[in-house]
Amino acid sequence: MVVYIDDTIIYSETWEDHVGYIDRVLSKCKPINLRISLKKCNFGQQELLELGNKVSGLSLGIDKNKVAEVLKNPVPKNIKEMQSFLGFSSYYRHHIKNIPNINSSL
């Protein structure tokens, strides 16, 4: 299970384990009066987008929409645009090989 602010991702290797984990989490919520919005819940997904990342099985990738968004932007022409680009690339640094070397040359 991974929790980030008010988002929770429950993952497992089997459906049986998954149902058990969900049951355990929900049973812990009731005694402390923690409410869950079923409209915001997705159960049994094999792939999901979370915080700009595509999570699937044991892999983590970048959301293609985020990549397309960056590619359609023009090449940074001033410091503010470069800072914006570096902020984006820093967030996805675990997907970009040699990012310290690349950033230092910018």
User: For position 4, what pLDDT does the model report?
Assistant: 67
Of 3, 85, 7, 84, nearest to 41 by C-alpha is 7
Position 33 scores a pLDDT of 92
Amino acid 27: pLDDT: 92
What is the mean pLDDT of each successive set of 10 residues along the chain, which is 106 residues long?
76 88 90 89 82 73 77 85 83 73 74
Q: Using an 8 Å Cβ cutoff, are 41 and 58 in contact?
A: no
Beta bridge partners, 44, equal: none
In this prediction, residue 41 carries a pLDDT of: 86
